[in-house]
C-alpha cells in the first residue's frame, strides 16, 4: 500500500472537519506531537523493541508454532488448555485459571501462549457493538 503524505493529510483533515472544535484541537495537537517525535533510534543502530512489542512478537511465534503442530496437539490434548513456550507444550489442564497460575508462578512475566485445543486452530471472536442513537435536532 503506497500512501502519500498528501493522502494522509487529506484524510486527517476530513476527519477533523467532522469533529467538534475542542476534539479537533485535540486531534491536531496529537498529530503535531507525533510529527515532532524523532523516528530514528537514539542509539544510532536498529530500533529496539519495547517489552510489550517483544512479548507480542513472542506470542505470535508461539501461535504459529501451535498452528503448525495443530493436528498432533489436537490428537493428544483435544478439549484441554495447553501452555506453549518456545514451541513446546510445557503444561496442560482442563482449568485455564489453574494453568495460568502455575505458568505465572513458574515463568513470571515471560511470554507463554495459553490456548484451548479445539478443532479449529484459530479462535473466532464475535464482538457485538451497540449502535449509538443520535439526538434529533
pLDDT in tens, 54-92: 888 898 999 999 999 999 999 999 999 999 999 999 999
pTM of the predicted model, to two decimals?
Answer: 0.56
- Domain-by-domain residue ranges, the chain? 5-34, 51-116
DSSP symbols for 29-90? HHHHHHHHS--S-TTSSSPPPPHHHHHHHHHHHHHHHHHHTHHHHHHHHTTSEEEEETTEEE
d(CA 6, CA 23): 22
8 A C-beta contact, residue 80 and residue 94: yes
Residue 125, pLDDT score: 67
Q: What's the half-sphere exposure (Cβ side, CA atoms, 13 Å) at 5?
A: 2
C-alpha cell at 7: 493522502
* pLDDT attached to residue 53: 84
Please say if the pLDDT value at position 42 is more than 60. no
Nearest to 114 by CA among 77, 68, 75, 71: 77
DSSP state of 19: S
Amino acid at each position: 500500500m503506497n500512501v502519500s503524505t498528501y493522502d494522509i493529510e487529506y484524510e486527517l483533515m476530513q476527519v477533523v472537519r467532522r469533529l467538534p472544535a475542542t476534539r479537533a484541537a485535540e486531534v491536531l495537537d496529537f498529530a503535531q506531537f507525533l510529527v515532532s517525535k524523532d523516528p530514528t533510534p537514539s542509539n544510532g543502530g536498529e530500533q529496539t523493541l519495547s517489552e510489550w512489542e517483544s512479548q507480542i512478537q513472542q506470542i505470535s511465534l508461539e501461535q504459529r508454532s501451535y498452528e503448525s503442530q495443530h493436528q498432533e496437539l489436537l490428537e493428544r490434548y483435544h478439549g484441554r488448555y495447553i501452555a506453549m513456550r518456545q514451541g513446546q507444550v510445557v503444561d496442560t489442564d482442563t482449568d485455564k485459571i489453574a494453568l495460568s497460575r502455575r505458568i505465572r508462578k513458574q515463568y513470571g512475566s515471560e511470554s507463554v501462549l495459553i490456548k484451548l485445543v479445539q478443532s479449529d486452530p484459530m479462535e473466532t471472536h464475535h464482538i457485538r457493538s451497540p449502535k449509538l442513537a443520535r439526538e434529533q435536532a
